[in-house]
Amino acid sequence: MAIRGAAGALALWALVHTLRSGIAQPGVALAFGTLIAVGELARQRPAGAPGEHDRAPLAAAGALAYALLGEVAGVPAPHGPAQTVVVVGVAGLVGTVSGPGRGPAADRLARHLLTCGCAALCVQPLYAAGPLASWAGRGHVPLLVLLGLLALTALGDAALTAAFDRARTGRPYGTLLRREVRASGGIGAAVGATGVVTALATAVAGLWALPVFALPLLLTQCALRRFAAVRATRRQTIASLARATEIAGYTPPGHARRVAALSRAVGGELGLREPELDLLEYAALMHDIGQLSLVDPVPSGATAPLPPAEQRRIARLGGAVVRQTGVPAEVAVIVERQADPYREQPVTARIVRTVNAYDDWAGRAGVPGGAPWVLERLAGGREFAPEVVAALARVLARGGRTG
């Protein structure tokens, strides 16, 4: 990919330049490199859900702080953009190779190299020429400069992340970019603020500022890892409950998992946020659980061919069961409303209904034409939202990849 090639070329140039000119302030470089490596080692690893990213907020904050660093305890820090790229790259490689569960480490490292290299290229010449140092006594001008650069860096990182996701999943770039920009307001804002504050504090207090300002983000990162573990446990529990209909013979094997994976992909195609995608996945896994309350099983477990009144009855029974499982109430609402007229449904219920019908009909023996026939049937049916059917068709055209 071109972005990885650009990052590799930047790293090679920086390494050659640094070897020729020598390392400025090796102790400072080692301190920041250690912080970045520790952040990589302690990073939050994906819990196995599609769409989750491998995040290293402490490493990103440390890399950004080194890129924006102008002084250390009042002494100028002349490391420059090339050394910034080398330190970020070497520390990132050390942390990635040493830690288990690498995830998309190459993509993340390429993003860090490009964003931190650009940030250092913008701010380090200003330090060398003296403007930022001369502005230090003029109110908040340097801080405003750093915040403006931070906003541009965050936008660039979101653009790069969306590009990598586009190459991996084939989903529309605009949808992915909007998702990343929205996500930058959460942990991304904390990373940026920590990087700026660490750089400013190091200029006054020296390297003692690193552990002081890194500790809160490290604790936050540990909390995120625990939260990810809880989410993974909840997802496994819900998946086990969803298998009850298969074990009892009410639905065909794998139906709930297929509907869940495809529903999440369609939700991502329509631009749903990560929390909405989680709720959608949970509801899709449990969408048929109401069949356990039936005396006579539905033939082949396919609810799509049933009369609307019977579909709504099964959906209401499923919602009542879901409410007893301890999952968020929004999941029960999606399950209950999956059989309502689509104009009255939330978008998540529209997705579950459409994808469930697709899997029901595509799995029936003797369906002429297979999947294309099913998509034509969905597009011609008044009970399915046209925008959801169109999104489903795009996902299937890419091979059903969820991203």
From residue 90, give the alpha-carbon distance in Å to each of 84, 110, 172, 366: 10, 12, 33, 58
Q: What are phi and psi of 197, to 5 degrees?
A: -65, -40
Q: How many CB atoms lie within 10 A of CB 174?
A: 11
**pTM score of the predicted model:** 0.68
The per-residue pLDDT for 348 is 92
Domain ranges of the chain: 2-229, 243-397
Residue 304 has a pLDDT of: 73
| Fold classified for 243-397 | Hypothetical protein af1432 (1.10.3210)
Q: What pLDDT is attached to residue 48?
A: 44
CB 85 within 8 A of CB 14: yes
Dist CA 403 CA 169 (whole Å)? 5
Q: Bridge partners of 72? A: 75
DSSP secondary structure letters along 265-319 = HHHHHTT--HHHHHHHHHHHHTTTGGGGG-SSPPGGG--TTS-HHHHHHHHHHHH
User: Please, what sign has the CA dihedral across residues 154, 158, 160, 164?
Assistant: positive
pLDDT at 86: 92
**SS3 sequence of 80-100:** HHHHHHHHHHHHHHHHHHHCC
DSSP letters for 10-33: HHHHHHHHHHHH--SSHHHHHHHH
Segments in the chain below pLDDT 70: 1, 44-55, 98-105, 128-143, 184-186, 295, 300-301, 363-371, 400-403
Q: Is the dihedral of CA 363, 381, 335, 262 positive or negative?
A: positive
User: Tell me, what amino acid is at 218?
Assistant: L
Nearest Cα to 263, choosing from 186, 348, 144?
A: 348
**pLDDT tens, residue by residue, 202-212:** 888 888 888 88
The C-alpha atoms of residue 197 and residue 216 are separated, in whole angstroms, by 12
